[in-house]
């Protein structure tokens, strides 16, 4: 799948101009952490970027400012975490977390997550997170919503049997949309729907803003069927 054939589920790739010091992270820190695909059509073992140092590999799709991913990396130093985020300002924010907290178990895919998913060796991801994806609230934009059958197909292929998928949204209509589609997928079972975050599910900056605006996020846990 080429990028020009994808209907983007995200908005901008760049926001406000980065300060000089933060922009420098793209040149000094990102190259060592960037996930690279093998040549040709060869599959990528998601453990490969961690050179055998990770017990298992987790994947976060759309990590925003990186708060959740950095927390998980610090709390699970034996796990390798691959974060996908095409928004440059978000990538820089995560690089700042990596630098400031000395995190060695994070790697970054700074493009559409679907381009990575279709090249991952199947059945290797132990946990995945899709937290507060853009709800694209207008009906004419619903085709841009990430949680749709083709994306779930790719994700199911990458996850190992029994793997956990965590999804969060603060948009009531998108919650209904997700609950209609994900449990209907042959490879996913809904485990629970929560209105309070579990202890190992830290709050993101976006979530904090959303709650301050009076919204009530939902936290969904799915299981990859065997």
Pairing relationship of beta strands 159-169 and 218-224 according to DSSP bridges:
antiparallel
Please identify which residue in the block is written with the tokens 């970027």. Answer: 49
- Interatomic CA distance for residues 75 and 69, integer angstroms: 10
DSSP codes of every residue in 81-107 = EEEE---HHHHHHHHHHHHHHT--SEE
Please identify which residue in the block is written with the tokens 């029994």. Answer: 162
Q: How many helices (H) and strands (E) does the chain have?
A: 8, 7
Query: Residue 111 catalytic?
Result: no
Would you say 131 and 218 are in contact if contact means Cβ atoms under 8 Å apart?
Answer: no
Catalytic choice (134, 173, 176, 187): 134
CA dist list (Å): 135 to 11, 91, 132, 217, 224: 11, 21, 8, 13, 23
Question: Is 51 exposed, middle or buried (CB count within 10 Å of its CB: 0-12, 13-18, 19+)?
Answer: exposed
Q: What residues are labeled active site?
A: 134
């Amino acid at each position: 799948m080429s990028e020009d054939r994808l209907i983007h589920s995200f908005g901008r790739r760049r926001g406000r101009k980065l300060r000089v010091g933060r922009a420098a992270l793209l040149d000094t820190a990102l190259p060592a952490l960037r996930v690279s695909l093998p040549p040709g059509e060869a599959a990528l073992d998601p453990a490969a970027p961690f050179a055998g140092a990770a017990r298992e590999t987790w994947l976060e799709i759309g990590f925003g400012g990186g708060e959740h991913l950095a927390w998980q990396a610090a709390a699970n130093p034996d796990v390798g975490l691959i974060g996908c985020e095409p928004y440059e300002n978000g990538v820089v924010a995560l690089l700042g977390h990596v630098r400031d907290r000395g995190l060695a178990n994070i790697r970054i895919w700074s493009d559409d997550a679907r381009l990575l998913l279709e090249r991952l060796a199947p059945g290797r991801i132990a946990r995945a997170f899709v937290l507060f994806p853009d709800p694209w609230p207008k009906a004419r934009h619903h085709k841009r919503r990430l949680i749709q059958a083709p994306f779930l197909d790719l994700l199911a292929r990458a996850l190992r049997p029994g793997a956990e998928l965590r999804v969060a949204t603060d948009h009531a209509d998108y919650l209904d949309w997700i609950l209609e589609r994900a449990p209907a997928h042959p490879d996913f079972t809904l485990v629970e729907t929560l209105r309070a975050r579990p202890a190992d599910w830290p709050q993101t900056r976006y979530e904090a803003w959303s709650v301050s605006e009076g919204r009530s996020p939902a936290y969904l846990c799915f299981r990859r069927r065997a």
